[in-house]
Amino acid sequence: MNSPPLPALPFDVAGIRLDGPGPLARQLVEQLRQRMLQGQLPAGARMPATRDLAAALGVSRNTVVRAFEHLLDEGLISSRVGDGSYVTPPLAQMASPLARPPSRATAPAQAPEPQTPRWQALQHFTPSRTPDGPVRAFRWGSPAMDLFPAALWSRLQARAWRRHSVSDLAYGDPAGLPALREWLADYLRSARGLPCSAEQILITGGAQQGIALAALALLGPGDEAATESPGYRSAAAALALQATRVHHVPVDAEGLRPAALEALGSRCRLLYVTPSHQFPTGVAMSLQRRLDLLAWARRQQAWILEDDYDSEYRHVGLPLAPLASLDTAGRTLYVGSLSKLMFPGLRLGYLVAPPAWLPTLARLRSVLDRHSACMDQQVMAAFIAEGHFLRHVRRMRRAARERRDALLDAWGRHIAPLGLPLPAPEAGLHAYLPLPSAALEQRLTEAAVRARLEVGAMRRVGGLPDSSARAGLVLGFAAVSAAGLGDAVARLAQAWRPEIG
Ligand SMILES: Cc1ncc(COP(=O)(O)O)c(C=O)c1O
């Protein structure tokens, strides 16, 4: 038996294909919507009867009815009783918040760019993003993540989820989980010699958010800020969110030079420093310089933001006391991070401030993103409370020390004889190799990349936009095993020999 001829349709259905993923009705909605927005189904066009369209497309009538109902809800078609459905005028379509096609992959090409100073400043900032794929030797900024006790963490996480209550899933305290604040205060007092209480601790999304929060909270219109040069680019970018200008104050063998700070005058209200382990040069700030900075802050009534990002890793002598512990005038804020002890993707850090500031800082945090993930904070608190954290820190410290020694040993055998001795890092997770010229920095970086090794060129790592960048390389030593580092140094020597000789 021959099938009856298909009824004539008011538009061409030849291009409609319903063989993609997802329900047929949704595919049909998307394709009809596309045609309407592109004008192939113009305003006022009469939609075919659902039965006819179903027959033409070879789908059930129900599918077409459901698709039409959805288009009706989106305001793309309207129906007149007894007279079928019509495509609505474009203005009415544009006003419908549902009318935007969810399947469109890119924004309209002519989207205007904001012209604000902040937007412009952000064009010069490259966010940190660890490369995908295998961990390569000399990756900087990475702790020994191969030692992270993932099985233990996942057990604690599973337990937290088994025992969770509804309030754990709701909005939490913007200052952070009280138990985690208590444990961190306890840790900072005993491990870092920083006198503080839980009431002074704001849990942040890493040190980075602590720096940005401090800039937003402490700088007013017209205020300037200062950072070290060479220095930590992410901190400079965070200060630039609020500061009218960010000065780059030179660092020498004793740390930041206070004399240069004096020259900035009274508009400079906030200074970011890394006194325990200057990033990236690795210098520990002398006691005299620390006292000079505190005196400057008192005199200028300015604030010091101390970033103590990796001070647990001290390879020579005893850990240095934080600058904040010397401050008797309450002008120092302290930021810390769990990125180097746990893992950077955890995004947990803390800001330590006077107790009276906490309510306002918590309000600011709440305005920005409310708070860090409650369940992650819970698991972190349990990890500390049950003794895993201190054990893990000891293990991480031991591994960093071993890897550092392996780097120095292999360097002494393979690369120092080429005329490039590596100063032994006294702290942290990277070594700093000063170089005589930017040209050599570039050649050595390119040769390392060709040998599939990751070195941090100062131009990228520590060069600040308006400072006279110092040439050098940052070489992380914690991310791969001691044996892996030994091999990598031998490969680096091979790759560098033609460049140096
Ligand atoms: C100077 C400095 N501060 C802080 C951090 C850690 O930042 P976050 O806690 O945001 O991961 C790093 C990481 O490389 C750093 O180099």
> Quick check: 500 pLDDT over 90?
no
Using a CB cutoff of 8 Å and minimum separation of 24, what contacts does 164-170 make?
Answer: 164/375, 168/374, 168/375, 168/378, 169/374
Residue 333, both tokens: 């804020």
Among the listed ranges 77-86, 304-313, 420-429, which one has the minimum average pLDDT value?
Answer: 77-86
- Minimal CA–CA distance to 312: which of 343, 338, 286? 338
pLDDT for 81 equals: 76
pLDDT at 105 > cutoff 90: no
Among 233, 339, 347, the mutation site with the greatest number of ligand 1 atoms within 8 A of its Cβ is: 339
**Å from CA of 209 to ligand 1 middle:** 10
Output the CA 240–ligand 1 centroid distance in Å.
17
Which residue minimizes the CA distance to atom 13 of ligand 1?
141
- The pLDDT assigned to 92 comes to 59
Ligand 1 atom nearest the C-alpha of 232 is: 1
* Residue among 481, 383, 388, 472 nearest 433 (CA): 472
Which DSSP string do the residues of 223-265 spell out, in sequence order?
-EEEEEES--HHHHHHHHTT-SEEEEEEEETTEE-HHHHHTT-
Q: Is 372 in the pocket of ligand 1 (CB under 6 A)?
A: no
Listed in sequence order, the residues at least 6 apart from 54 whose beta carbon sits closer than 8 Å to its beta carbon are 60, 61, 63, 64
Tell me which residue of 108, 104, 88, 106 sits closest to 96, measured CA to CA.
88
Q: What integer is the mean pLDDT of 144-157?
A: 98
What's residue 1's pLDDT?
47
The model's pLDDT over 272-284, given as tens digits with 9 standing for 90+, comes to: 999 999 999 999 9
pLDDT for res 94: 60
Q: From the CB of 307, is ligand 1 less than 6 Å away?
A: yes
The residue-averaged pLDDT of 24-46 equals 87
pLDDT for 202-215, tens place per residue? 999 999 999 999 99
> What is the average per-residue pLDDT within 127-155?
93
Residue 95: the pLDDT is: 53
Question: Do 293 and 247 form a contact (C-beta atoms < 8 A)?
Answer: no
**Where are the alpha helices (H) located in 7-81, listed in sequence order?**
24-37, 50-57, 61-74
Mean pLDDT score of the chain, rounded to an integer? 91
CA of 138 to the centre of ligand 1 (A): 17
Q: Which of 3-12, 77-86, 242-251 has the highest mean pLDDT?
A: 242-251
Residue 34 has what pLDDT? 85
What pTM, to 2 d.p., does this model score? 0.84
User: Ligand 1 in contact with 142 (CB < 6 A)?
Assistant: no
Measured in Å, how far apart are the chain's first and last C-alpha atoms?
Answer: 88
- Nearest-CA residue for atom 5 of ligand 1: 309
Question: Per-residue pLDDT averaged across 301-321, rounded?
Answer: 92
**Residue 128 CA, closest ligand 1 atom number:** 14
What is the average per-residue pLDDT within 23-38? 89
CA of 216 to the centre of ligand 1 (A): 18
**Percentage of the chain modeled with pLDDT above 90:** 74
Rounded distance, CA 418 to CA 432, Å?
17
Cβ of 280 below 6 Å from ligand 1:
no
Distance CA 256, CA 284 (A): 10
Ligand 1 atom nearest 208 alpha carbon:
10
**Segment 461-478 mean pLDDT:** 80
Structure tokens at 321: 């006391």
3-state secondary structure of 440: helix
Task: Report whether pLDDT(196) > 90.
Answer: yes
Residues 54-70 have a mean pLDDT of 92
The atom of ligand 1 lying closest to the CA of 210 is: 10
Q: Ligand 1 centroid vs 340 CA: distance in angstroms? A: 8
Protein residue whose Cα sits closest to atom 4 of ligand 1: 309
Give the C-alpha separation, 281 to 301, whole Å.
Answer: 28
Contact predicate 450/456, CB 8 Å: no
Looking at per-residue confidence, does 84 or 12 come out higher?
84
Which tokens is 500 given?
């140096």
Closest atom of ligand 1 to CA, residue 336: 9
Q: Which residue bears the tokens 């077409």?
A: 64
Least confident of 46-50, 193-197, 372-376, 393-397: 46-50
What residue owns the CA closest to ligand 1's atom 6?
207
Q: Answer whether residue 10 shows pLDDT above 50.
A: yes
Going along the chain from its start, the domains and CATH numbers come out as 24-93 (1.10.10.10), 149-388 (3.40.640.10), 391-500 (3.90.1150.10)
- For residue 203, the CA-to-ligand 1 centroid distance in Å is 15
Residue 280, phi then psi, degrees to nearest 5: -105, 0
Contact assessment for residue 135 and residue 147, using Cβ atoms and an 8 Å cutoff: no
Phi (first) and psi of residue 304, to 5 degrees: -110, 135
Flag the least confident range among 6-15, 78-87, 327-336. 6-15
Tell me if 344 CB under 6 Å of ligand 1.
yes
Alpha-carbon span 41 to 206, nearest angstrom = 51
Pocket test for ligand 1, best of 139, 140, 234, 311 (most atoms within 8 A of CB): 234
pLDDT digit string, tens, across residues 214-234: 999 999 999 999 999 999 999
Strand 472-476 versus strand 430-434 pairing type: antiparallel
Lowest mean pLDDT among 56-65, 81-90, 294-303, 489-498: 81-90
**pLDDT over 70 at 26, yes or no:** yes
- If you average pLDDT over residues 49-67, what whole number do you get? 92
